[in-house]
Amino acid sequence: MADTIRLKVNGVARDIDIDAQTPLLYALRNDLGLKGAKYGCGLEQCGACKVLIDGQALPSCALPVSEVAGREITTVEGLCEGEVLHPVQRAFVEEGAAQCGYCTAGLIIGVVALLEENPRPSNAQIGAALERHLCRCGVHNRVFKAVHRAAEEMAR
């Protein structure tokens, strides 16, 4: 049964007709065409689908879309301002912190939330904050460097 749900994503409110139990991830990817968040497990285990919900990085793969109606959702697409990348996105590019890139969008969301809460995290704090993100290509070390680089830039 389709319901009409109003989602506020990247600052824009959109009404979509969707079963209220549908995970947010499918609404973002298939109804709104925002392909940044990825399906990785559907079990909230890997972090590939993370988005910001009222500033908090949360997995979207099992979260019913009805529960986030009216809340501020930000996806990786919403981080740039026009052509200008968010400092965290820029840091990932500058550090080459991706291989296949499937985990990247979720990680960037996780890092944005971390730096919001803790502008100068230590390696241990970064590791703990990103513990629920998986990367299979093994760019972990580069992600740590990207976090420090972004933190420095954002502190300027």
Partner 1 sequence: MSRIDDALYVERDGRISVFMSKVEVGQGLKTAIAQLAAEELDIDFSRVLIVRADTALSADASYTAGSNSIQTVGEWVRRAAASARHVMLQRAADAWGVDATSLWVEDGLIKERTGVRQITYGQLMGGRTFDCDIIDDISLKDPCRYTTVGRSVRGNDLVAKVTGGGSFIQDLVLPEMLHGRVVRPPGPRDMLIDLDRDAAAHITGVLAVVRDGHFVGVVAEREEQAVDAANALRAAARWERSAPLPSSDAIYDQLQTGEGRSLRIVDGAPVDGDVPEVKVPADAEQTLRALYKRPFQLHASLGPSAALARWNQGQLHVWSHTQGVFPLRGALAQALGVDVEAVRVQHVEGSGCYGHNGADDVALDAALLARAVPGRPVRVQWMREDEHAWEACGSAMLLQLQASLDARGHVVDWNHDVWSFTHSGRPRASEGVSNLLAAWHLETPLPAPQARPGGGSHGGIHRNADPLYAFPHRRVVKHFVRDQPLRVSALRGLGAYGNVFAIESFMDELALATECDPLDFRLRHLEDERARAVLCAAADRAGWMSGVKRGASGAGRGMGIGFAQYKNEKCYAAVVAQVCVENDQIHLERLVVAADAGQIVNPEGMANQLEGGVMQAASWTLYEQVRYGANGIESRDWDTYPILRFDRAPEIEAVLLDQPALPSKGCGEATQGPTPAAIANAVFVACGARLREIPFTPERVRAALAH
Residues that bind partner 1 (CB under 8 A): 1-2, 19, 22-23, 26, 29-30, 33-43, 45-46, 48, 75-77, 79-80, 85, 89, 92-93, 96, 98-105, 108, 124, 126-128, 130-131, 133-144
| Shortest CB 154 distance to partner 1, Å | 16
Q: CA-to-CA distance for 21 and 3, rounded, in angstroms?
A: 10
Kindly tell me which of 11 and 33 has the beta carbon lying closer to partner 1: 33
Kindly tell me which of 96 and 119 has the beta carbon lying closer to partner 1: 96
Helix (H) or strand (E) holding 8: strand 3-9
Task: List the structure tokens of 35.
Answer: 């392909």
| Shortest CB 67 distance to partner 1, Å | 15
Q: CA-to-CA distance for 133 and 38, rounded, in angstroms?
A: 12
| Shortest CB 62 distance to partner 1, Å | 11
Kindly tell me which of 57 and 139 has the beta carbon lying closer to partner 1: 139
Q: CA-to-CA distance for 8 and 22, rounded, in angstroms?
A: 16
| Shortest CB 79 distance to partner 1, Å | 8
Task: List the structure tokens of 149.
Answer: 């680089």
| Shortest CB 38 distance to partner 1, Å | 6
Q: CA-to-CA distance for 36 and 28, rounded, in angstroms?
A: 9
Which residues make beta-bridge pairs with 16?
Answer: 5
Kindly tell me which of 1 and 13 has the beta carbon lying closer to partner 1: 1
Q: Are strands 56-59 and 50-53 parallel, antiparallel or unpaired?
A: antiparallel
